[in-house]
Structures are given as C-alpha cells and as structure tokens.
C-alpha cells in the first residue's frame, strides 16, 4: 500500500522537484567530482599501502575507475549544452558509465563478495575508501535511463519519497533536504502520447486518463480534464513511451502492466544556452541550525522521517507524532540475527512542512 499518494499536492511537488534534481547538471557534476577524489585515493592506496593491505583489490580496478572518470567528463560536456541523450540506451555516455562502475563495485574486495554481491564487512582500513566510492552514488539516478523492459521506471511516489527505500545493508543513501517552500507543479501541456509511441521531448511526464465531455451521455466531444494514474516519470527524447505498472489484487501477482497515455508536464530545456544556473537548492546546506532531536523512548513531536547513525550505519524511520521513538538496528553483517540499541534520532522531514530545526528564541516553528 502506497504511503505517498499523487492526489496529495505536497507529494506531487516533492516528486517533481526530485526528478528535476536527479536530472540536473550539478548533481552529475558532483558525482563526477567525488569519483575523481575516489580515483585519487584509490591510486594513492595502491602506491603507498603495504601489499597485505591491497591484496583484496582487483588488478583491473584502477583501469575501470579511470574509464568511468573519462565517461563522466564526456557526458558532462554534452549535458552542459542540454544534450540529455547521455542517458540513452547503448549510445549515451552515462549509459556506458554503468559498466565500469558496476565492475568496481562488484570486485571491490573479492573475499567479502559472493557471486559479485557484497555480503561481508570490508576490512577496517578499506571502509573509508569504499565510503568515498559509495558517496558518488545517488538514490534514484537510474530512473533517467529508458527502461530496459519497456515498463515505466517508477509507478508510485514511494520509490523516491519513502526514506526506508534509502536503507541498505552496508550503506545508506542520503535522504534529500527539500526547500522550505516548493513551487506548484506546472499545469502541464497539451502534448499527449500513448505507450509505444516515440517521446518527442525531454522532461517529466505524467500517466493520465483523459476525461471527456459527452453528448447524449455516450458520445465523446471535447476533453474536460485529466485523471492522474500514477507517479511522474522522466523521459528522454527518442525513447518509446513505456507501459505502466498497476496494482490489482485480483491478479495472481497482485499487479500487472497496461498501455497508458502520458502527458508532458514539464519540458526540460535547461542548459540549451550553455549556461548552468544556480542549482544550490538541490544541495541545501546542513548548517541551517540544530536539527530537532529525540532519543529512543521519547514521544515523537512531529510526524515525519527521522535518521540516526547509531548501530554502525545511517538508518531511517518514519514516526508519527505522539508515537514512541524506536531503537536502532545494530549492524552485524548480512547473516547475523537482528539486535537493537537505544539511539538519538534527528528529524529529516516533517509531514506538515514545518521546520526541521530547533526554533531560535522568539521563533515559532
């Protein structure tokens, strides 16, 4: 059951903003810069660490790392002038970027992997380097690529808005900080395409059902509106409009696929003039004050998303106002039984849109 419904204006604004953020030049530039730092530190480790500390590294990893850096640079030069074909299947620079990055991830320290999956904690001296590698990743950046199976990448807003989705076994993605006042989503355009038709414009699209006026109750005349059928998706020009996933408890798997009409809500024309605007709102500074905090067992003051670093890694929880703040799960590796510990929780996001920081004297939050 979805927690974040597209009928909620607050949800629509946040999802729209997140898709703009994920497709922004500044976000991919930051990913590239962090990867460059990782490359520098990795090469430094190969040159300066004793052999017993580097024996778990794959001998080809440094080649993959610099191949990824080259693709970042090539893709950014295209995105800087508004060419979003960098995400196109088979031809885009960022599409090809996934291979060397996946190889580095899958073979990072072989003895801690099983069938190329990270299953055991890395040695302590390797963890800072792996944390720097992981810092290049951004939850949801895969949503920009055309779906490989012709099914829309996202069908409910929970995928990006539910902080539980950001949790992993060894790492947790950073949950974005939203601007205090998000503008309304644009009214949309008259451009409508059907599943299977080529996408004419880069941008954010909405699955809709067209509602018509009727003559004599049965004869369709003109369009009188659109009914939302699910989450916004980001499409790039030239891909084919995908199918949509939908829930249906009468089906054996509880969901199915359907043809749908997609309406262009916002055409992405950023950077066509070669100018990168101020995009600092996508990376709001954390130093806006002291976040509202509570400890395990305290009464929750605000419904919303909370985070803690207790237990050995960052983790999130959604807590309702008046509820009891939970314990944190202790990280013990993939196959160990769950254990929990008291924690100090910081407020990430409030359902009512209020400030997540403690009020200064005289202020009301």
- Do 315 and 268 form a contact (C-beta atoms < 8 A)? no
H helical segments located in 203-332: none
pLDDT at 334: 55
How would you classify residue 218: left for phi > 0, otherwise alpha for psi between -120 and 50, otherwise beta?
alpha
- What pLDDT sits at residue 111? 82
Separation of alpha carbons 31 and 22, rounded Å: 11
Cα-based torsion angle of the residue sequence 356, 358, 360, 363 in order, rounded to the nearest 10 degrees: 50
Distance CA 100, CA 30 (A): 18
pLDDT value for 121: 86
Q: Residue 308's pLDDT is what?
A: 82
- What CA–CA distance (Å, rounded) separates 104 from 214? 59
pTM of the model: 0.78
Residue tagged 């962090």 (tokens): 34
pLDDT at 240: 97
Residues 6+ apart with CB under 8 A from 231: 6, 15, 154, 155, 156, 157, 159, 207
Interatomic CA distance for residues 104 and 134, integer angstroms: 11
Q: Which residues have C-beta within 8 Å of that of residue 181, sequence separation ≥ 6? A: none
In this predicted structure, what is the pLDDT of residue 289? 60
**Chain centre to alpha carbon of residue 28:** 13
Whole-angstrom distance between the N-terminal and C-terminal Cα of the chain?
Answer: 31
| Residue 286: predicted pLDDT | 46
pLDDT in tens, the chain (365 residues): 678 999 999 999 999 999 999 999 999 999 999 999 999 999 999 999 999 999 999 999 999 999 999 999 999 999 999 999 999 999 999 999 999 999 999 999 888 888 778 888 889 999 999 999 999 999 999 999 999 889 999 999 999 999 889 987 788 888 898 998 899 999 888 899 999 999 999 999 999 998 777 676 666 776 777 899 999 999 999 999 999 987 776 776 777 889 999 999 999 999 999 999 989 899 875 445 678 899 999 999 999 888 887 776 667 888 999 999 999 888 665 566 788 989 889 888 888 878 888 876 544 55
């Amino acid at each position: 059951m979805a927690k974040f419904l597209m009928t909620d204006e607050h949800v629509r604004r946040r999802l729209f903003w997140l898709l703009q953020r994920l497709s922004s030049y500044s976000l991919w530039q930051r990913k590239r810069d962090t990867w460059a730092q990782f490359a520098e530190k990795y090469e430094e480790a190969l040159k300066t660490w004793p052999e017993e500390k580097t024996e778990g590294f794959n001998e080809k990893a440094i080649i993959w790392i610099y191949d990824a850096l080259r693709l970042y640079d090539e893709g950014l030069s295209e995105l800087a002038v508004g060419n979003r074909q960098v995400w196109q299947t088979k031809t885009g620079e960022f599409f090809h970027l996934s291979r060397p990055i996946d190889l580095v991830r899958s073979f990072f320290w072989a003895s801690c992997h099983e069938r190329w999956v990270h299953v055991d904690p890395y040695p302590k001296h390797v963890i800072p380097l792996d944390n720097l590698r992981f810092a290049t990743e951004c939850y949801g950046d895969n949503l920009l690529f055309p779906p490989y199976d012709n099914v829309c990448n996202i069908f409910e807003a929970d995928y990006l808005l539910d902080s539980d989705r950001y949790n992993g076994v060894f790492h947790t993605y950073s949950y974005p900080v939203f601007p205090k006042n998000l503008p309304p989503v644009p009214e949309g355009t008259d451009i409508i395409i059907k599943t299977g038709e080529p996408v004419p414009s880069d941008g954010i699209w909405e699955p809709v059902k067209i509602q018509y006026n009727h003559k004599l109750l049965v004869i369709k005349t003109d369009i009188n509106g659109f009914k939302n059928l699910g989450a916004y998706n980001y499409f790039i020009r030239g891909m084919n409009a995908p199918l949509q996933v939908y829930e249906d408890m009468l089906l054996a798997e509880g969901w199915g696929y359907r043809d749908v009409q997609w309406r262009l809500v916002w055409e992405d024309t950023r950077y066509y003039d070669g100018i990168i605007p101020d995009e600092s709102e996508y990376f709001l500074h954390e130093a806006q004050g002291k976040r509202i905090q509570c400890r395990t067992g305290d009464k929750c003051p605000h419904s919303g998303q909370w985070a803690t670093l207790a237990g050995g890694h960052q983790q999130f929880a959604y807590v309702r106002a008046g509820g009891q703040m939970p314990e944190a799960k202790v990280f013990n590796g993939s196959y160990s039984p769950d254990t929990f510990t008291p924690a100090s929780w910081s407020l990430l996001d409030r359902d009512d849109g209020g400030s997540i920081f403690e009020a200064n004297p005289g202020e009301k939050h």
